[in-house]
């Protein structure tokens, strides 16, 4: 129970920090929008082509955005010298990770839900038929991105060239998330969408595996 | 029995013995090459090019085995914090990368005459590529952290994450698309190799495992020496 209350308190801190500056969300949303627009020049954005390439394009944009957005996650604590205090304030270091990954999932999900209608309008892909299902896929995908991304941002923050290193470490690791989320999204963008339970199950498995790994090994990453 | 993980063990084994072991490995590899080229029968459909299989398939298995050794080293380091496990981890990762590279290079050489294309994004090919990228990142991460203890710890945790990702990558791509032949070795009913081919194959596998152990040992000795030099340097700096 201490874990949950600690996590809730820390999550509150993360959200407050973000909503005071709104730097991270604004940049992420604009970044994804830029990629989505730039992609339109790389293929003929007709309806059928967009249905084929759209989901992959969208998830690739989310992946790149996440690998940049997760950068300051631990770096900020390090530059402000607050990691030690944070570590002392909770009994279980996992609470720090939980709070950060919950915050990152929320930010990503927010950006995705905001940009999904924009994508739908720009590429003429109807999304209303399966909007709640799409949000579920987005949630599972963002959770996968955030779990691994939060752990790896704690790793990259301790190395040189960290800005380049995080995408390098994170992107190959996210191959399964990219495939599963893209396939699940593609299944929901067709005229008669069916719920892609198999891919959702796969995303769930990914999330569970890495959440467990983070629970087991995360605290070692915060050792001074 | 001396402790093979201690750096001193290496000096006690002596240069002569190591050269002898290397010579044995070279002789075994020569035998293996002879077996693949002359002993094994020519495959009826693919012809001579199929002989690359004896290098190709076992390399993949040995690469995975090396990465598993790396994973074990990583886990052991996180829990014991003994530098020797870190040395084992980096040695196994580098040797695994070497075999993985052999796999990626021999693959297209075989695929082009047989499938008519150099590369296809099928499950095992893609997995190999992603594996290669994951362990390149692992080795790259190691070059970007100065403090040896910190480097050992965070790279060990990344190594654990990378290895956990392997079955997930394979599973996701396998569901998604596949073209590679179904496993012939230990595959389902109806698959199987001609008996001589099977013998040559397993001989190659055994040889490459021996080569892997030899290389990991040598690389480990180097890393151990490096660690020792570093600690001496640090001591010298402190005084």
On average, the pLDDT of chain B sits at 85
pLDDT below 50 — which residues of chain A?
Answer: none
The ipTM estimated for the assembled molecules is 0.89
Question: Which residues have CB under 8 Å from B85's CB, separation 6+?
Answer: B73, B74, B76, B77, B156
Share of residues in chain A with pLDDT > 90 (%) = 40
Q: Over the stretch B160-175, which tens digit does the pLDDT of each residue have?
A: 999 999 888 888 887 7
Q: Are B166 and B174 in contact (CB under 8 A)?
A: no
Q: What is the pLDDT of residues B129-145, one digit of tens each?
A: 999 999 999 999 999 99
| Reported confidence tier of residue B180, pLDDT bands at 50, 70, 90 | low
> CB contact, 8 Å: B210 with chain A?
no
Identify all chain B residues contacting A206, using CB atoms and an 8 Å cutoff: 168
Comparing CB atoms, the residue among A152, A165, A210 nearest residue B144 is A165
Model confidence at B2, pLDDT cuts 50, 70, 90, reads: very low
What 8-state DSSP symbol labels residue B26?
H
Rounded to the nearest 10°, the torsion over CA B172, A152, B99, B199 is: -50
Nearest chain A CA: its distance from B86 CA (Å): 15
Q: pLDDT at position A189, please?
A: 86
| Residue B152 reports pLDDT greater than 90 | yes
**CB contact at 8 A, A206 and A180:** yes
The C-alpha atoms of residue A15 and residue A91 are separated, in whole angstroms, by: 21
B139 touches chain A (CB under 8 A): no
Distance between CA atoms of residues A43 and A53, nearest Å: 9
A121 contacts chain B (CB < 8 A): no
Is B81's pLDDT higher than 60? yes
- Please state the pTM of the whole predicted model: 0.87
Sign of CA dihedral A113, A117, A122, A127: positive
pLDDT more than 70, % of chain B: 88
B97 touches chain A (CB under 8 A): no
> Which residues in B lie closer than 8 A to residue A210 (C-beta atoms)?
161, 164
In this complex, which of B134, B146, B157 lies closest to A221 when CB atoms are compared?
B157
Nearest C-alpha in A relative to B168: A176
Range in B46-55, B118-127, B173-182 with the lowest mean pLDDT: B173-182
Residue B181: predicted pLDDT: 57
Q: Give residue-wise pLDDT tens across range B84-93.
A: 999 999 999 9
Given this model, what pLDDT does residue B190 score? 45
If you search the block for the tokens 């290193």, which residue do you land on? A165
Nearest CB to A213; choose among B140, B160, B173: B160
Q: Which residues contact B93 (CB under 8 A, 6 or more apart)?
A: B66, B67, B70, B135, B138, B139, B159
Q: Give me the long-range contacts of B134-138 (CB less than 8 A, separation at least 24).
A: B134/A172, B134/A173, B134/B162, B134/B165, B134/B166, B135/B67, B135/B70, B135/B93, B135/B96, B135/B97, B135/B100, B135/B162, B136/B97, B137/A168, B137/A169, B137/A172, B137/B162, B138/B70, B138/B93, B138/B162
Chain B neighbours among A 172-191 (CB < 8 Å)?
172-173, 175-176, 179-180, 183
pLDDT for residue A47: 78
Quote the pLDDT of residue B127: 87
Q: For position B186, what pLDDT does the model report? A: 47
Are residues A111 and A65 in contact, defined by beta-carbon separation less than 8 angstroms?
yes
Work out the average pLDDT over B191-207. Answer: 84
Query: Looking at the predicted structure, is the pLDDT value of residue B185 above 60?
Result: no
Other CB atoms closer than 10 Å to residue B151's CB: what's the count? 19
Nearest to A155 among B154, B173, B175 (CB): B154
Rounded Cα gap, residues A156 and B79, in angstroms: 21
Alpha carbon distances (Å) from B112 to B16, B31, B52: 43, 27, 12
């Amino acid at each position: 129970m201490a874990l949950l209350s600690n996590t809730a308190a820390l999550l509150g801190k993360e959200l407050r920090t973000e909503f005071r500056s709104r730097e991270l969300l604004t940049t992420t949303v604009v970044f994804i929008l830029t990629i989505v627009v730039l992609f339109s020049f790389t293929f003929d954005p007709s309806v059928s082509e967009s249905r084929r390439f759209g989901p992959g394009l969208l998830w690739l944009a989310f992946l790149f955005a996440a690998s940049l957005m997760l950068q300051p996650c631990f770096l900020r604590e390090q530059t402000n010298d607050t990691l030690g205090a944070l570590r002392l304030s909770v009994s279980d270091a996992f609470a720090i990770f939980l709070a950060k990954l919950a915050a990152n999932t929320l930010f990503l999900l927010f950006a995705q839900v905001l940009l999904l209608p924009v994508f739908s309008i720009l590429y003429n892909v109807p999304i209303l038929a399966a909007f709640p299902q799409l949000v579920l896929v987005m949630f599972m995908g963002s959770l996968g991105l955030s779990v691994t991304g939060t752990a790896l941002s704690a790793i990259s923050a301790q190395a040189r060239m960290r800005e380049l290193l995080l995408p390098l470490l994170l992107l190959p690791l996210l191959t399964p998330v990219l495939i599963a989320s893209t396939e699940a999204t593609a299944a929901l963008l067709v005229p008669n969408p069916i719920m892609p339970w198999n891919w959702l199950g796969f995303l769930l498995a990914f999330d569970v595996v890495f959440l467990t790994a983070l629970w087991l090994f995360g605290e070692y990453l915060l050792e001074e | 029995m001396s402790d093979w993980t201690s750096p001193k063990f290496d000096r006690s084994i002596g240069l002569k013995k190591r050269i002898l072991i290397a010579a044995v490995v070279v002789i075994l590899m020569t035998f293996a090459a002879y077996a693949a080229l002359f002993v094994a029968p020519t495959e009826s459909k693919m012809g001579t090019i199929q002989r690359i299989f004896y290098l190709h398939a076992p390399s993949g298995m040995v690469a995975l085995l090396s990465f598993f050794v790396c994973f074990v080293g990583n886990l052991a380091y996180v829990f014991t914090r003994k530098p020797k496990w870190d040395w084992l981890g980096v040695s196994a990762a580098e040797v695994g990368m070497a075999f993985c590279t052999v796999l990626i290079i021999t693959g297209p050489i075989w695929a082009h005459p047989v499938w008519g294309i150099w590369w296809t994004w099928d499950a095992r090919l893609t997995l190999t590529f992603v594996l290669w990228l994951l362990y390149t990142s692992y080795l790259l991460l190691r070059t970007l952290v100065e403090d040896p203890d910190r480097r050992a710890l965070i790279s060990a945790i990344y190594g654990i994450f990378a290895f956990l990702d392997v079955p997930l990558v394979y599973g996701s791509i396998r569901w998604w698309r596949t073209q590679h032949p179904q496993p012939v070795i230990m595959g389902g009913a109806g698959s199987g190799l001609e008996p001589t081919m099977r013998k040559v194959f397993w001989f190659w596998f055994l040889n490459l495992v021996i080569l892997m152990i030899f290389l990991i040992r040598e690389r480990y000795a180097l890393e151990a020496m490096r660690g020792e030099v570093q600690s001496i340097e640090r001591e010298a700096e402190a005084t």
